[in-house]
């Protein structure tokens, strides 16, 4: 892989590398994000985070909140295949935001440099601020050479995400979808998303995994989430029902 750019900031070494047509972001050796303008749907972990978007019709995904921007690959996927009116990306690391703009080509996006917990708490304090149709929790840092979740998914955090995902119409009658990335299935199962208080607020909840990856992705909503509708809407390259699918995902309901 060719080294395109690098920066040492404190204890963190950032690198942007190219592998063929793909651009990749690394922090202290941890692979954070990848984007390929020519071939964006290659069956990667970022597409697993993108897949649950299609529980909603694309025309319903008008506003998106992404907590944890990384290099911005998810933003590029959303803009290419869903075209929301508004995308807001929040990241504590200003270098990640600069890389998203300068190397991953992120445009027409409100990028906010802030601690996600503080941002969410302050956002919810103002009842006039709109909800979102899609809320993505991809808050990971790097420790011991591996990516680690940066925010514990306790009851307070899950409740806040449900409040954010009340839909952009402001009524709560068309709730949005929450997508949350976990380092492993056991980490997800140990989170508050399985608690009785949170589960009774959910109309639908699914998990998705890729063979060979520890990560487990949650899709949850106060409204119903129908697998058959996702299969009708998702692009063929990531659609589990398509013979040309490149994303070998395991999609199943989150059980008690």
As given in the structure block, the two tokens for residue 171 are 């009524």
β-strands 12-19, 177-182: how paired?
Answer: unpaired
Distance from C-alpha of 149 to C-alpha of 214, rounded to nearest angstrom = 13
Per-residue model confidence (pLDDT) at position 256: 60
Helix axes 155-164, 116-125, angle to 10 degrees: 60
Task: Judge whether residue 253 has pLDDT over 60.
Answer: yes
Q: Is residue 16 part of a domain?
A: no
Average pLDDT (110-139) is 97
Task: Judge whether residue 173 has pLDDT over 80.
Answer: yes
> Which range marks the domain in which residue 145 is found?
41-253
Per-residue model confidence (pLDDT) at position 145: 58
Q: Tell me the per-residue pLDDT of 188-240, one tens digit each, with 9 for 90 and over.
A: 999 999 999 999 999 999 999 999 889 999 999 999 999 999 999 999 999 99
Q: Is residue 21 part of a domain?
A: no
Give the CATH number of the domain where residue 187 resides: 3.40.50.150
**Residue-averaged pLDDT of the chain:** 94
Per-residue model confidence (pLDDT) at position 172: 73
Among 37-51, 73-87, 141-155, name the one with the lowest average pLDDT: 141-155
Average pLDDT (140-158) is 83
Q: Is residue 211 part of a domain?
A: yes
Count structural domains, the chain: 1
Per-residue model confidence (pLDDT) at position 148: 80
Q: Is residue 168 part of a domain?
A: yes
Per-residue model confidence (pLDDT) at position 144: 57
pTM comes to: 0.96
Closest CA to 28 of 10, 44, 47: 10
Closest CA to 117 of 71, 164, 74: 164
Is residue 139 a contact partner of residue 151, using CB atoms and an 8 Å limit?
Answer: yes
Task: Judge whether residue 141 has pLDDT over 80.
Answer: no
Task: Judge whether residue 168 has pLDDT over 80.
Answer: yes
Average pLDDT (76-97) is 97
Q: Is residue 89 part of a domain?
A: yes
* Rg, C-alpha atoms of the chain: 17
3-state class (DSSP) for residue 132 = coil
Task: Judge whether residue 14 has pLDDT over 90.
Answer: yes
User: Which residue's entry shows tokens 């009116």?
Assistant: 85
Q: Is residue 170 part of a domain?
A: yes
The pLDDT-based confidence of 146 (bands split at 50, 70, 90) is low
Per-residue model confidence (pLDDT) at position 171: 72
Per-residue model confidence (pLDDT) at position 169: 82
Per-residue model confidence (pLDDT) at position 212: 87
Q: Is residue 218 part of a domain?
A: yes
H or E element that contains 209: strand 204-209
Q: Is residue 73 part of a domain?
A: yes
């Amino acid at each position: 892989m060719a080294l395109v750019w690098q920066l040492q900031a404190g204890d963190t070494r950032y690198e942007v590398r190219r592998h063929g047509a793909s651009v990749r972001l690394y922090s202290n050796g941890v692979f954070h994000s990848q984007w390929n303008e020519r071939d964006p749907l290659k069956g990667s972990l970022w597409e697993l985070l993108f897949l649950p978007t299609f529980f909603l019709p694309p025309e319903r995904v008008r506003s998106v909140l992404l907590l944890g921007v990384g290099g911005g690959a998810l933003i590029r996927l959303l803009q290419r295949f869903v075209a929301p009116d508004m995308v807001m990306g929040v990241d504590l690391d200003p270098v990640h935001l600069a890389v998203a703009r300068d190397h991953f080509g992120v445009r027409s996006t409100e990028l906010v440099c802030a601690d996600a917990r503080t941002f969410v708490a302050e956002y919810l304090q103002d009842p006039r601020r709109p909800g979102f149709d899609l809320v993505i929790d991809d808050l990971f840092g790097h420790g011991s050479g591996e990516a680690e979740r940066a925010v514990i998914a306790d009851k307070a955090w899950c409740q806040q995400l449900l409040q954010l995902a009340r839909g952009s119409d402001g009524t709560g009658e068309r709730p949005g979808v929450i997508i949350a990335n976990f380092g492993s299935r056991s980490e997800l199962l140990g989170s508050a998303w399985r608690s009785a208080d949170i589960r009774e607020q959910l109309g639908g909840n699914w998990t998705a995994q890729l063979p060979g990856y520890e990560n487990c992705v949650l899709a949850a909503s106060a409204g119903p989430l129908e697998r058959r509708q996702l299969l009708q809407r998702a692009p063929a390259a990531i659609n589990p029902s398509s013979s040309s699918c490149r994303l070998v995902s395991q999609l199943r309901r989150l059980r008690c």
